[in-house]
Amino acid sequence: MNSNIPKQFLLLSGRPLLMHCLDAFFIADAKTELVVVLPEPFVDEWKKLCNLYRFNIKFSVVTGGETRFHSVKNAIPSIADDGLVAIHDGVRPLVTPELINLCFDSAIQLGNAVPVVPVNDSIRLIDGNESRPEDRKQIRIVQTPQVFQVLPFKKAYEQAYDVAFTDDATVIERMGEKIHLIVGDPENLKITCPEDLRIAEHLLLANK
């Protein structure tokens, strides 16, 4: 993003991305216990932003770790020992309460739920200096929130870190748990570059 501040603090429609995420979870179910995981140097900055924007939704704050895996692991002591836990990227500000509730409802029925969307472009697999086409019908783009039963989730995070753990589903899957994919939302964008922020702004205005 060519920014000196964390992406989740960047403004979308005049408010930090992270606040949009928390709003959606609160609207989906106001009783949800929210835990925000942040880099330690920016915890105070987040508190200042909450005061500045009069953000009053209740949440707790945990400092993150070296990787996504370690950040999630740091938050585990802050969650209950039963029920469901959802992990969401703080830079997916367009997540809807409807998708959140679908993920929770599906996890109740299936044990876990991971939203995905299809790949619409042609794709090729790179192998050294060579490449070959792949069947895009067999590929899905993974989104969040990813929702799991708490006990197997906590057990999975007792494992040693592996670079293959790119999201929570890969951590749970290593324990032998089957991952259940559900239909995600193409507008549930992950903000990774300036163009994404401009697209998100357009979508947010179009959906009002």
Strand-pair partners of 87: 146
Structural domain including 167 reads 7-206
198 is written with which tokens? 């401009």
Strand-pair partners of 63: 38
| pLDDT for the residue 51 | 98
The pTM assigned to this predicted structure is 0.95
Q: What is the pLDDT of residues 67-119, one digit of tens each?
A: 999 999 999 999 999 999 999 999 999 999 999 999 999 999 999 999 999 99
Average pLDDT value for the chain = 96
| pLDDT for the residue 167 | 97
Residue 37 lies in a domain: yes
Residue 1 lies in a domain: no
CATH code at position 118: 3.90.550.10
Q: How many domains does the chain have?
A: 1
Residue 138 lies in a domain: yes
Residue 2 lies in a domain: no
* The dihedral sign for the CA sequence 79, 109, 98, 187: positive
Strand-pair partners of 113: 147
Cβ atoms of residues 76 and 35 within 8 Å: no
Residue 154 lies in a domain: yes
End-to-end C-alpha distance for the chain, whole angstroms: 26
Q: What is the pLDDT of residues 174-201, one digit of tens each?
A: 999 999 999 999 999 999 999 999 999 9
